[in-house]
């Protein structure tokens, strides 16, 4: 069965510093990987996806993610964090039947 | 606003009562999904529709839960005889029917927060 793991419940980063939110995956077959963000009192928003192609995927709000097949990882990154990036981030994987399996989430705190 | 909408946003009910939630997807999207999210967890898949057909139901969806999408547009999720364990955020999402990989781009509504007392 497809699954993702987010090893960190919370990540704290100073504003202006680079940020990384970690995700590892377990899939049979080709991975369909996603990152979503959830702001307080709002629905999940799609950030980016990896299907095939370049291992570095660029998404919304300046975020990018690096697909690493050998390490089965799909970490979310941003070169310079903003306070407004503070939110709950979910890594997810497509299950091959048009459904998405989400990780538990990582709460990102950007400190001013 | 052409996004996914859900109604109500909040619902407080007493144990044993029935509740119904509504989801209006993005109009050109033919797939509609229901998820449940509890505190500290990611969304968990409940069920999904393609047009009016309910294609899959999770084992999480007990007999007390029923979902419909009668005309392939809006959907309702009903919970009968609510229990305290049903307290959660219920999320709806829609996606286009696409032959390419954009079918995985699900657009979420703001959710309905259910509290069972």
| B88-109 pLDDT per residue, tens | 999 999 988 766 666 567 899 9
Over residues A22-61, the pLDDT tens digits come to 999 998 888 889 999 998 877 899 999 998 888 999 999 9
User: Which residue is associated with the tokens 């909408």?
Assistant: B5
Nearest-angstrom CA–CA distance, A7 and A2: 17
d(CA A99, CA B49): 11
- In the block, residue with structure tokens 């500290």: B40
Per-residue pLDDT at A112 exceeds 90: yes
CA distance A45 to A38: 6
Contact A46 B101 (CB under 8 A): no
CB contact under 8 A, A102 and B43: yes
DSSP A61: G
Strands B44-50 and B53-57: antiparallel
Question: Within 10 A of A4 (CB to CB), how many other CB atoms are there?
Answer: 24
Mean pLDDT across the stretch A63-81? 96
The angle formed by the CA atoms of residues A75, A78 and A81, to the nearest 5 degrees, is: 130
- Chain A residues near residue B33 by CB distance under 8 angstroms: 99
Mutation for testing the A interface, residue in B33, B61, B104 having most A CBs under 10 Å: B104
Rounded (5°) CA angle B24-B86-B106: 35
Size of interface A-B (CB pairs under 8 A): 53
Chain B contacts of A32, Cβ < 8 Å? 101, 104
Exposed e or buried b for every residue in B43-52, given b needs 16+ CB within 10 A? bbbbbbbbee
In chain A, the percentage of residues whose pLDDT exceeds 90 is 76
Q: What is the pLDDT of residues A74-88, one digit of tens each?
A: 999 999 999 999 999
**Contact check, Cβ <8 Å, A105/B111:** no
- Whether residue B43 lies within 8 A of chain A, CB to CB, comes out as yes
pLDDT at B98: 64
Model pLDDT for residues B62-91, shown as the tens digit of each residue: 899 999 999 889 999 999 999 999 999 999
pLDDT tens string B9-46: 999 999 999 999 999 999 888 899 999 999 888 999 99
Q: Are A6 and A21 in contact (CB under 8 A)?
A: yes
């Amino acid at each position: 069965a497809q699954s993702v793991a987010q090893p960190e419940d919370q990540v704290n980063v100073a504003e202006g510093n680079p940020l990384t939110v970690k995700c590892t995956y377990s899939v049979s077959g080709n991975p369909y990987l996603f990152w979503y963000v959830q702001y307080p009192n709002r629905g999940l928003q799609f950030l980016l996806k990896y299907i095939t192609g370049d291992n570095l995927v660029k998404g919304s709000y300046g975020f990018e993610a690096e697909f690493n097949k050998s390490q089965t990882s799909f970490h979310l990154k941003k070169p310079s964090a903003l306070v407004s990036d503070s939110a709950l981030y979910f890594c997810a994987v497509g299950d091959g039947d048009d459904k998405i399996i989400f990780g538990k989430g990582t709460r990102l705190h950007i400190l001013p | 606003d052409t996004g996914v909408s859900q109604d109500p946003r909040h619902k407080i009910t007493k144990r044993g009562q029935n509740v119904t939630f509504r989801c209006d997807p993005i109009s050109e999207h033919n797939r509609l999904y229901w998820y449940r999210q509890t505190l500290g967890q990611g969304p968990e898949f409940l069920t999904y529709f393609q047009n009016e057909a309910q294609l899959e139901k999770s084992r999480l969806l007990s007999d007390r839960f029923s979902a419909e999408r009668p005309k392939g547009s809006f959907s309702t999720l009903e919970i009968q005889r609510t229990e305290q364990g049903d307290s959660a955020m219920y999320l709806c999402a829609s996606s286009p029917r696409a032959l390419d990989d954009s079918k995985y781009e699900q657009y979420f509504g703001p959710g309905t927060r259910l509290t069972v007392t």
